[in-house]
Amino acid sequence: MTYKGDSPTELQTLLENKKYRILKETLSEMNEVDIASFIEELDTEQVLLVFRLLPKDLALDVFACLPIEHMEHIINSIGDMELRDMIEDLYTDDVMDMLEELPATMVKRVIQTATPATRSIINQYLNYPENSAGSIMTAEYVALKKNMTVEQSLNYIRQHGVNKETIYTCYVTNIHRKLEGVITLKNLVMSPSNAIIADIMDEHVMKATTTEDPEEIAYRFNKYNLLSLPVVDHENRIVGIITVDDVMSVLEQETTEDFEKMAAMLPSEKPYLKTSVFTLAKNRILWLLVLMVSSMITGGILASYEEAFAVLPLLVSFIPMLTGTGGNAGSQSSTLVIRGMTLNEIRPKDIFKVVFKEFRVGLLCGIALAAVNYIRLIIFYPGQELICLTVVLSLLLTIIMAKCVGCMLPIGAKKLHLDPAIMAAPLISTIVDAFSLIIYFQIACALLHI
């Protein structure tokens, strides 16, 4: 929780002038996250130098915040004994995050260097699938026993709590590690010291299973205002805990992925500026290709009405307005529905409610836009009432159609167990384009007798 406003440039100056003693003192007063940001910008040889200046406990916290290249460099520069101590003291979730990114040979070294107990936990954790509760939990929680008194519990926490990820929620387990209850440190502090845990614990424990989706867990944290949640295996044995800070990272990452998917990209793993041009291009080409090919269908539809606009080229000039408005109207609906489903506010069974709502919204929006357009058209194209009518009518129908497609597509995707963000959002404008052209030219042919 320490925070000090020393800017990286001041620290840089201290480092360049070799004022290591002052640098060391300044760093020891700083927050680990800020120290890591400072180290991140340094050259490889400076990284180790600064890292060595940190007091042991702080060094460990800083290490957990560093980018993988720096972790690699530090691990490669220290001996097995030191590495073992570090692995021992790091939280399991930080070790697992690191192992996920390290090259295979280094993963091997880390696992071989660890103590047998830690090695067995690491191996257990490595088995949990990516993007599961098991992959984000940590093993450092406080486990109490039913028959302990409050005083015994507090003494236990004093002895074993230092290295726990949180001591604010303690879990009560039996000898088989099965979860029997939960008690907060607040309850412990507020209760008389001779009270028995079994009498004051809460037996209705909210918990997650190892295979659960982290995003679902994140929304549960938010709904119930949780600080931590135990994770159990299929025999109700506690295997780890998830804390609120992990959950905030999950939410941030999932949100970024949703944004990327809705803009027709494969999700990226790193921040934008750290992603290579090649990876960025690779993440985008697939969907651009898919959408390009589908827009060729729209082109084909357009080509089939070639005669119509050969007779009346003016018709073409309204196409961008129609398809553009349709696309916008559709993506408004799909965005609201996709977000609503992410937040569990809209469920697939609400489909009729949603479509009826969107139909009415489309009607209102359509009438408003058509009216504005009609005024513009009779001013700019006097005497061409039929063309005006064609455009206005097409606009109204396009907007209603776009709203309905925009809400049905994501709900449909969800029903088919597809990801609505990727399956619906990027496709909306292509689909709406095609339909709106058909609407437009059908009306044009009928009204204008082409």
Cβ proximity to a second copy, 3 vs 105, nearer residue: 3
CB atoms within 10 A of CB 416: 10
DSSP string for residues in 78-105? S-HHHHHHHHHHS-HHHHHHHHHHS-HH
AA identity, residue 126: L
Q: Give the dihedral sign, CA 402/403/408/409.
A: positive
User: Which tokens is 198 given?
Assistant: 């079994």
189 binds a second copy (CB under 8 A): yes
Region at 312 (left for phi over 0; alpha for psi -120 to 50; beta for the rest): beta
Q: Which residue from 108, 163, 316, 416 is in contact with a second copy, where contact means CB under 8 A?
A: 316
- Footprint on residues 57-76 left by a second copy (CB under 8 A): none
Query: Does the footprint of a second copy cover residue 318 (CB under 8 A)?
Result: yes
Which residue in 22, 206, 416, 446 binds a second copy (CB under 8 A)?
206
- Minimum CB distance to a second copy smaller for 29 or for 100: 29
Residue from the set 256, 374, 423, 443 that interacts with a second copy by CB under 8 A: 256
- The 112-151 contact track toward a second copy, x by CB under 8 A, reads ----------------------------------------
Question: Which residue's structure tokens are 């809400």?
Answer: 407
Question: To which residue do tokens 């001779």 refer?
Answer: 194
Q: Please tell me the distance from the alpha carbon of residue 134 to that of residue 212, in angstroms, as a whole number.
A: 8
Q: Does 340 bind a second copy (CB under 8 A)?
A: yes
Query: In this structure, how many other beta carbons lie within 10 angstroms of the beta carbon of residue 195?
Result: 17
Helices (H), 54-160: 56-65, 68-77, 80-89, 92-101, 104-113, 116-126, 133-136, 150-160
Under the binding rule (CB under 8 A), the answer on residue 336 touching a second copy is yes
Query: For residue 38, with 0-12 CB atoms within 10 Å meaning exposed, 13-18 middle and 19 or more buried, which class applies?
Result: buried
Region binding a second copy by CB under 8 A among candidate stretches 29-37, 84-92, 93-101, 441-449: 29-37
User: Among residues 245, 375, 415, 446, which is the contact residue for a second copy, using CB under 8 A?
Assistant: 245
For residues 422-441, which are near a second copy according to CB under 8 A? 426, 429-430, 433, 437
Distance CA 65, CA 68 (A): 9
**Per rule CB under 8 A, is residue 348 in the interface with a second copy?**
no
Check binding of 303 to a second copy (CB under 8 A): yes
Task: Check binding of 239 to a second copy (CB under 8 A).
Answer: no
223 forms part of the interface with a second copy (CB under 8 A): yes
How many other CB atoms are found less than 10 A from the CB of residue 394? 26
CB nearer to a second copy: give 83 or 354: 354
Euclidean distance between CA atoms 268 and 256, whole angstroms:
9
Angstrom CA distances, 127 to 4, 131, 217, 257, 405, stand at 40, 12, 20, 24, 42
Query: Cβ 125 to a second copy, closest distance in Å?
Result: 20
Question: Site for a second copy (CB under 8 A): how many residues?
Answer: 117
Instruction: Note whether 2 binds a second copy by CB under 8 A.
Output: yes
104: tokens are 């295979």
Output the smallest distance, CB 112 to a second copy, in A. Answer: 30
Q: Which is nearer to a second copy, 281 or 446 (CB)?
A: 281
Question: Which one among 158, 174, 269, 375 touches a second copy, defined by CB under 8 A?
Answer: 158
Please state the closest distance from residue 47 (CB atom) to a second copy, in A.
Answer: 21
Question: Least distance in Å: CB of 268 to a second copy?
Answer: 8
Stretch that binds a second copy, among 44-52, 85-93, 105-113, 161-169 (CB under 8 A): 161-169
Q: Which residues pair with 171 in a beta bridge?
A: 143, 182
Output the smallest distance, CB 378 to a second copy, in A: 15
Beta strand residue intervals within 302-388, DSSP E: none
Q: How far is the CB of 14 from a second copy (least distance, A)?
A: 18
Q: Is 287 in the site for a second copy (CB under 8 A)?
A: yes
CB of 177 to a second copy, least distance (A): 20
Q: Which residue's CB is nearer to a second copy, number 202 or number 385?
A: 202
User: What tokens appear for 375 in the block?
Assistant: 């005024």
Q: How far apart are CA 25 and CA 14, in angstroms?
A: 11
Report the length, in residues, of the chain.
450
Single out the residue of 134, 214, 240, 327 in contact with a second copy (rule: CB under 8 A).
327
Instruction: Please tell me whether residue 244 binds a second copy under the rule CB under 8 A.
Output: yes
CB of 237 to a second copy, least distance (A): 18
Binder to a second copy among 199, 224, 349, 417 (CB under 8 A)?
224
CB 105 within 8 A of CB 219: no
Instruction: Pick between residue 129 and residue 285 the one whose CB is nearest to a second copy.
Output: 285
